[in-house]
Amino acid sequence: MSAIKTHTGIVITRNGEKRLKLHSTKTSWVVGRSESYDKKTGYRWGAPNMRRRLLLNSIRPIKQE
């Protein structure tokens, strides 16, 4: 069972910016099973030299209805 996504954020990729759904853990923002970003720096876990980066100031809560 997947975690409920509670926020959205913009990730910079080599093809431009993408808005993705995220959920939060103690130390990271998680997009999926194999994609997560550091909460302090925005860099992707496990691949710090990659171009993918989460813009921390773009994170917004998803409105619950």
pLDDT score recorded for residue 39? 95
pLDDT score recorded for residue 3? 86
Show Cβ contacts of residue 16 under 8 Å, excluding neighbours closer than 6 positions. Answer: none
pLDDT score recorded for residue 48? 67
User: How far, in Å, CA of 45 to CA of 61, rounded?
Assistant: 22
pLDDT score recorded for residue 14? 87
Mean pLDDT by runs of 10 across the 65 residues of the chain is 89 93 96 92 83 94 83
